[in-house]
Amino acid sequence: MTIVADLQAGLANRIKNIISCLRIDPDVEVVWNSTLHSPSGLVGTKLNDYFSNLKECKNVDDKRVRSSWRFEVFPDELPKNFSTIDDKIEKLFGKKFKPIIPYGKTIDFEYERIPEEIKKSYIECFNKLKIEESILESVEKFSKSFDDDTISVHIRTWHDDGPRNEKLFDMNKVISLMEEYNGHNFFVSTDYYPAINHIKEKFGNDKIISYNHTNENIDCLIEMLLLSKNNVLIGSPISTFSEIAWWFSGCKSEVKIAWK
């Protein structure tokens, strides 16, 4: 069976869909459509610009098409009512966030709570992605500015989405979590660059490391990979960007989410 990954969404969501397809069956093809749902649009970038070993789907006939940002979970893999995040999301946003699969049977945004066997299975799938060599070279070069005291921070402000900004973003909470690491420096990635200036005012320029974008499309993946390089990740609520950065760490980064 050939399974086709086809999801019109942002880069992190598309990665989740591709990885889920790889877990279902190794024979995966991908729809290249490059109109990604994101502030920058990422127009003109195809998924094989990031991952060179993905196969393009030219015809979906007689193939199974998967179009979901949710990680695939097989029957009876999780304990009853496992998921805690879905109840929290529903309280914030209502029923429109109800998952396709039944409540309690998802691993999305559950991080360290995910059972070890499922983590292992998904890490193997992530390892099947062949990241473009030029991207890996950029990550390797820039990560030399990190040391053992560097903390990764991903700040999703949702500045382009009023309801999510109101319910999910709290800069004071981000700062509070960063203050737990007195004496450390921070690699900060964000969807809204003025947030970095705010952080620099609080902690000082010498404590904050950020990546200067030259190609908005490719730099998104570079920043995900850079976030994965440190022992601690301060992430954003229900952000698949934070989530995929953690998976790229091999699930090794300690995660703290800046819930409002």
> Could you please report the per-residue DSSP string of 106-154?
--TT-GGGS-HHHHHHHHHHHTT--B-HHHHHHHHHHGGG--TTEEEEE
Domain housing 63:
3-126
Same domain, 119 and 183: no
Shared-domain flag, residues 77 and 152: no
pLDDT of amino acid 95: 62
Environment class of 154 (CB within 10 Å of its CB; exposed 0-12, middle 13-18, buried 19+): buried
Are 108 and 44 within one domain?
Answer: yes
Count: domains in the chain? 2
Q: What are phi and psi of 187, to 5 degrees?
A: -95, 120
Are 36 and 80 within one domain? yes
pLDDT of the residue at 173: 97
Rounded distance between C-alpha atoms, residue 189 and residue 195, angstroms: 9
Would you state the pLDDT for residue 198? 94
Give the pLDDT confidence score for residue 143 in this predicted structure: 98
| Per-residue model confidence as pLDDT tens digits over 124-170 | 999 999 999 999 999 999 999 999 999 999 999 999 899 899 999 99
Is 85 found in the same domain as 143?
Answer: no
Spell out, as residue ranges, where the chain has pLDDT lower than 50. 37-39
Cα separation of 178 and 234, whole Å? 8
pLDDT score for 42: 54
Cα separation, 183 vs 158, in Å, equals 29
Distance, CA of 125 to CA of 161 (rounded, Å)? 32
122 and 194, same domain (yes or no) = no
Domain boundary among 94, 110, 126: 126
107 within 8 A of 74, measured Cβ to Cβ: no
The pLDDT tens digits for 109-136 are 999 999 999 999 999 999 999 999 999 9
Buried b (16+ CB within 10 A) or exposed e, 13-40: bbbbbbbbbbbeeeebbbbeeeebebee
pLDDT of residue 35: 54
Q: Are residue 73 and residue 114 in the same domain, yes or no?
A: yes
CB 205 within 8 A of CB 136: no
pLDDT at 179: 98
How far apart CA 107 and CA 93 sit, in angstroms, is: 19
Instruction: Please check whether residues 96 and 191 belong to one and the same domain.
Output: no
For residues 14 and 5, the answer to whether their CB atoms sit within 8 Å is yes
The conformation of residue 71, written as its DSSP 8-state character, comes to P
